[in-house]
Each structure stands twice: as structure tokens, then as C-alpha cells.
Amino acid sequence: MFDKLEDLVHRYEDLMLELQSPDVANDTVRFRKLMKEQSDLSPIVEAYTAYKKAKQDIEDSLSMLESESDEEMREMLKEELSDAKKKVEELEQELKILLLPKDPNDDKNVIVEIRAGAGGDEAALFAAELYRMYVHFAEERHWKIETINADETGIGGMKEVEFMINGNGAYSVMKYESGVHRVQRVPETESGGRIHTSTASVAVMPEAEEVDVVIDDNDIRIDVMRASGCGGQCVNTTDSAVRLTHMPTGIVIYSQTEKSQIQNKAKAFALLRAKLYDLEQQKKHDAEAELRRSQVGTGDRSEKIRTYNFPQGRVTDHRIGLTLYKLDKIMNGDIQEIIDGCIAADQAAKLLKMNESGY
């Protein structure tokens, strides 16, 4: 591990020198690429520098203890020694986490797809609430949200909704939301007061660039039509809605949220690229079954990951065994504690695997 850390420090120093070069400053693409690498390496170098300082503090304290006879001074040195040893242990763990293989999609924007599952109108209402939960969460982080398509019901529910979240590291956070979400509550239409269980599925896909997925024009059928449902001026009066059909896979994309056909077409292609890229990622995960089992929140889309129990005001994430009694706050976008728990569990599983392999 430490040989690798030394190599990374040397690489970081080389990067700092390169970034000062006028040639690099004049090459925007290269400058951005080097800045990204420098930004990724910076926390590792900082932690390793602090680790080496703590190791030096241990040596210094031990050396001074050998020659120090004053009891009060010895006690102080022992305390400093204890603090330095604790710091070394903490930094070793931090460095192991920082050196874990990084998901290449972590820095990407995401496209989220929510579909109402079992439960009819109640499932559609729950899907709409999940959508609002993610919108509030994204807004708190100052991320930008763009709705691609929403199939709304007359009572405020959503049969399905697709939207994009633009934000630094959005996928690294949102990927843990993929799976089946379950709600338990008494519907307003239930006269007997019985608790019903409904579900909604959430799929979180990294945004795919054109270089990630090449789409053959011959594989696409494009249909344009008037938007349906609620819409503003011009939305329902012009052929602005776009439907894409990808013949090889049968994937159908519908986009109607913009007044411009060009904008709806761009959004539809963005969603199609994300879906095709996601299909490839799922195939890779299926081929790496052991790796997939060791990860938290990147497993089977049919996995029930979370239950929202309204009568008891609790939310339980089944993957990590976390139960929180603050349902109102969570439905208003306060899901960071759950995501932090998933990240910690994911890191712990990967560290265990790394230790077992004798890294």
C-alpha cells in the first residue's frame, strides 16, 4: 500500500509542475483533465502527509522518553505518543478507503426513473412522493433537476417519471437509491382503516456521453406528436412531443416536457443513451456476480431496499438494517443519513474483501 502511496505522491508533484506550464494553460482540454486528476489525488496526498507526520511524532516521542527523567514531562510525552498512535490508526483506515477502486461513473450526472408498482392509485401517489423527495434532496445540494417525462394521474400521482440530476458526484450518491421502495399506510379511500402495502421501483442510471454509447440512426424510429396531459402555453398545441423507439432492444422513450421539439428530442436521446449504457453495465455486473454481491445498493433492481411505514413514522433500509423514526423529514428530502450508512457499509464490504485478498 505504501509503495503505491509514494507513487501517487510523485505523480501529484509532477501534476503540480505540469499545471504551471504555459503550454498546459493554453490547452483547455488537457488543463481540465490534469486539474481533475490533481483534485482526485489531493485528499490522498493530504492524508498520507498527515500519516507520515503522525509516524514521525511517534518516533520523536519515543526518543524523548528515553532521555527524559522528569516525571511530569514523561507523562506529557506519553499522552502525545498515545494521540499520535491513535492518529496513525485512523489515517491508515482513511487511506485504505481512499485507495479503494473508484466507480468510473461516480462523477457523472444521473437519470432517475421512478415507476409505480403494485398498489394502483396508491402506488402512483407514492411514486410522486418519491419524486418530490429526490427533488428536495437535490435542491438542498444545489443540484439542477430537469424532468424528461412524467405520466401523471388525475389525483396527483405518477405512473412513471424520468428526470435528470446535474451535479458534481451525483451518481456516487444517488446510485444507492436503485431498487424497490415499499410504502405501508392507510389510503385516504380506505374506509375500514386497513394498512395497504404499495411499491414503486427506482432506477438510477449514470448519464452517458455520446462517446460512451454509439447509436446507429438506422436503429431508431422517431415519432413526433402533441404532448398530452397538463401543459403550459404551446406544449399541447404543437407537435413538440418526441417518441424514440430503439428497434434492437425495444426501448421506447417519450419526452414532452419542453415546448421545443428539438429540446424534447435531446432529452429523449439522453435518456436512451443512459438506458443503453445501463444495460451494458448490468451485463458486466451479471458477469461479476461475486463483486455484485459484495456491494451495497448496486444489486438487482427487483431487490426491496426500503420500507416507509406511515402509521409508525419509520423508515427502514433493509440492506444495512437501519431504522429511522423521522419519516416526515425523510419524505421531505432528508435522506443523507441513509445514504451515508449505505456508503459506509459498501466501503466496509470492499475493505473486508481487500484484506481477505492480502492487499
Strand partners, 179: 202
Give 113's DSSP letter: E
Per-residue model confidence (pLDDT) at position 299: 45
Per-residue model confidence (pLDDT) at position 231: 46
Return d(Cα 273, Cα 43) in angstroms, integer: 32
- E-assigned strand segments in 176-299: 179-185, 196-206, 220-225, 241-246, 251-255
Instruction: State how far Cα 38 lies from the chain centre.
Output: 22
Domains of the chain: 2-98 (1.20.58), 110-348 (3.30.70.1660)
Three-state helix/strand/coil letters over 130-177:
HHHHHHHHHHHCCCEEEEEEEEECCCCCEEEEEEEEECCCHHHHHHHH
Return d(Cα 136, Cα 331) in angstroms, integer: 9
The residue among 243, 19, 17, 61 whose CA lies nearest residue 148 is 243
Instruction: State how far Cα 168 lies from the chain centre.
Output: 10
For residue 28, give Cα distances in angstroms to 32, 34, 109, 150. Answer: 6, 10, 22, 38
Q: What is the chain's percent helix, strand, coil content, to nearest 5?
A: 50, 20, 30
* Phi, psi (deg, nearest 5) at residue 145: -115, 130
Per-residue model confidence (pLDDT) at position 191: 64
pTM: 0.74
Per-residue model confidence (pLDDT) at position 179: 92
278-294 as b/e: b if 16+ CB within 10 A: beeeeeeeeeeeeeeee
Per-residue model confidence (pLDDT) at position 338: 95
DSSP assignment string, 68-94: ---HHHHHHHHHHHHHHHHHHHHHHHH
pLDDT in tens, 93-123: 888 888 887 888 888 899 999 999 988 889 9
- pLDDT below 50 — which residues of the chain? 230-236, 291-292, 294, 298-299
Per-residue model confidence (pLDDT) at position 203: 92
pLDDT in tens, 248-275: 888 898 888 888 888 888 888 888 888 8
